[in-house]
Amino acid sequence: MNLNGIRAIYLFEMNRTRRTLMQSIVSPVLSTSLYFIVFGTAIGSRMGEIDGISYGAFIIPGLLMLSLLSESISNASFGIFFPKFSGTIYEVLSAPVSPFEIVAGYVGAAATKSLIIGALILLTARLFVDYSIVHPFWMLAFLLLTALTFSLFGFIIGVWANDFQQLQVIPLMVITPLTFLGGAFYSINMLPEPWHTLTLFNPVVYLINGFRWAFYGVADVHIGISIGMTLLFLCTCLVLVGWIFRTGYRIKP
Amino acid sequence: MQPIIQIQGVGKTYASGFTALKSVDLEIHRGEIFALLGPNGAGKTTLISIICGLVNASSGRVLADGVDVVDDYRQARSLIGLVPQELTTDAFESVWDAVSFSRGLFGKPANPAHIEKILRQLSLWDKRRSKMLALSGGMKRRVMIAKALSHEPRILFLDEPTAGVDVELRRDMWEMVRGLRDDGVTVILTTHYIEEAEEMADRIGVINGGELILVEEKAALMQQLGQKQLHLILQTPLETLPAALHQHNLSLSDDGTQLTYTFDAHQETSGIAELLRSLSEQGIDLKDLQSQQSSLEEIFVSLVHKPEHTQ
């Protein structure tokens, strides 16, 4: 195991984060805080409770998930896309590092950054909304699992993307709509048929509900299903990454 | 002694259907400077990329110090340093960080003393805190060399090291390459500057159209370089070469107006005086004469453009 190699990639990526602190950490925390102010404090006070939880508190897991997903994807995808784009990937490819070590470095750093952002969002939310965490262990487990899975997914997008537009298209056109429609702001039980059933095909529903269950002990879908779906997505990503390195897809002609 | 690199039947056809390498066999000796010479698009970079792990070969295999570069990539790659042709660097990183990153990536523990030594050797020490984007092209090239040397490789690939580099840096670089060879590092450089191959290499390989068409000791090539030709334009055309002139290494042109004398410029006597004496004894008058030396460039061009060599 080339631990020095993993460390080099990981620290390189973390340095990049440090250099772009405003954009990579402050900006996502700030924009999420705006949701808390608008929906939590301002509008939330005029809205009824959902499943016995105040609206401001209800939206926290969903908003956290929204940031976590988009940050994990954009950070991990940029991390591998940029070396591919600029050509510096030659060094990683010519180094004695295994695919696992490369992924551990890039994805590990992206997930770390997402976790930092997640923690900061949780802390800032406290300033505007009162919330509690019923299952802290599961909350952390979900946070970790999601950050890891979607950083892995971002890595795949970064390898797949041929230009900057493709890099943005999945997070903006797929992930954000799926999160907004996945019950970040409402309980899916509030939806009429056929929308309720249709929504169950949205994988983000399981992430948000699993996370919400960890916070408040209530959710629209069973926690087991949530964890199962997330693990399924993680495995799919792992298989895809394995395939990328086996075939050299878009990184090694 | 086992060659440090053994290339066995390596071919590459890209997904587009383009065949960049047909089937290359080549052995690089331990501790030599090998120049791979060829025009643009000849397959030089593809060959290097296959050895270094940037491109998958379609056929054949490569051994570095006896280990397969695909099956035992860890062992093989830790021996190899690569300086690619393009100046690709992370713009916002400092020189020091960039070079230290490379060392870590290759699995070596941090060694600031070694990094310092390399940076000083390459006149980069003063620039160690500069960001890459603030460096000139020549400086960036030096950083890329420093990165390749950071993990103390035994084999160094320099892909077009002096393309777009000024004369001074080129001299420095040649100096550095010789220093590395003295330390026992094997250096493989690609170039399309004949001058560079002539100056640096122990052996020269000429590649064209994805095929290695010649591998030769530079000294042997220089021997061919020593061949000079003297063209003698005659006042009156000859039908045949007079028997008295047969002792000289002469050939008569088809129209009989020109004699060509081939000789070795490295020998003590060129034989020109004797030839001229023989000519005047035979009553052959000359209208003009000119001498010509074949250069490595000419040998190269004739190799690259003769289709029979590439079949």
Q: What confidence tens digit (pLDDT) does each residue in A149-187 have?
A: 999 999 999 999 999 999 988 888 888 899 889 888 888
pLDDT one-digit tens code per residue, B26-82: 999 999 999 998 888 889 999 999 999 999 999 999 999 999 999 999 999 999 999
CATH (residue range B227-293): 3.30.70.100
- Residue A96 is nearest to which of B14, B77, B89, comparing CB atoms? B77
Residue B307: pLDDT band with limits 50, 70, 90: low
Best mutation site among B105, B131, B151 for testing chain A: the one with the most A CBs within 10 Å? B105
> B133: which chain A residues are within 8 Å (Cβ-Cβ)?
none
Please name the CATH architecture into which domain B5-223 falls. Answer: 3-Layer(aba) Sandwich (3.40)
- Which one has a higher pLDDT value, B38 or A111? A111
C-alpha dist (Å) from residue A103 to A5, A74, A90, A98, A164: 11, 15, 16, 9, 21
- In SS3 terms, B141-165 reads as HHHHHHHHHCCCCCEEEEECCCCCC
Residues B3-12 have a mean pLDDT of 96
Using alpha carbons only, how large is chain A's radius of gyration in Å? 19
pLDDT one-digit tens code per residue, A35-66: 888 887 778 778 878 888 888 888 899 999 99
Residue B225: pLDDT band with limits 50, 70, 90: low
Model ipTM over 0.95: no
pLDDT of the residue at B226 = 66
Mean pLDDT value across chain A: 90
pLDDT of B311 strictly over 70: no
Q: CA B240, CA B237: separation in Å to the nearest integer?
A: 9
pLDDT of the residue at B306 = 64
Residue B309: pLDDT band with limits 50, 70, 90: very low
Residues A86-93 have a mean pLDDT of 93
pLDDT of the residue at B301 = 75
Tokens of A180: 């907004």
**How far is A4 from chain B, CA to nearest CA, in Å?**
5
For B13, nearest residue in chain A (alpha carbons): A253
> B86: which chain A residues are within 8 Å (Cβ-Cβ)?
87
Query: Is there a contact between B192 and B37 (Cβ–Cβ < 8 Å)?
Result: yes
Domain parsing of chain B, residue ranges: 5-223, 227-293
- Residue B54 is nearest to which of A11, A16, A94, comparing CB atoms? A94
**B19-28, strands of its sheet edge to edge:** B19-28, B5-13, B59-64, B67-68
pTM of this structure: 0.85
The single residue listed with the structure tokens 């390195």 is A245
Residue B295: pLDDT band with limits 50, 70, 90: low
**Residue B26 backbone dihedrals phi, psi, to 5 degrees:** -160, 140
**Residue A50 backbone dihedrals phi, psi, to 5 degrees:** -115, 130
- Residue B53 is nearest to which of A9, A11, A93, comparing CB atoms? A93
The single residue listed with the structure tokens 């060094």 is A91
Q: Give the count of beta carbons closer than 10 Å to the beta carbon of residue B298.
A: 14
B residues 95-114 lying closer than 8 A (beta carbon) to A: 97, 101-109
- Answer whether the bond into residue A194 is a cis peptide, omega within 30°: yes
Q: CA B172, CA B142: separation in Å to the nearest integer?
A: 10
Query: Is there a contact between B36 and B196 (Cβ–Cβ < 8 Å)?
Result: no
Q: CA B237, CA B252: separation in Å to the nearest integer?
A: 10
Q: CA A179, CA A198: separation in Å to the nearest integer?
A: 14
pLDDT of the residue at B310 = 41
Residue closest to A95 by CA, chosen among B147, B270, B115: B147
Question: Is B105 within 8 Å of A97 when comparing Cβ atoms?
Answer: yes
For A87, nearest residue in chain B (alpha carbons): B88
> A91: which chain B residues are within 8 Å (Cβ-Cβ)?
82, 102, 105, 147
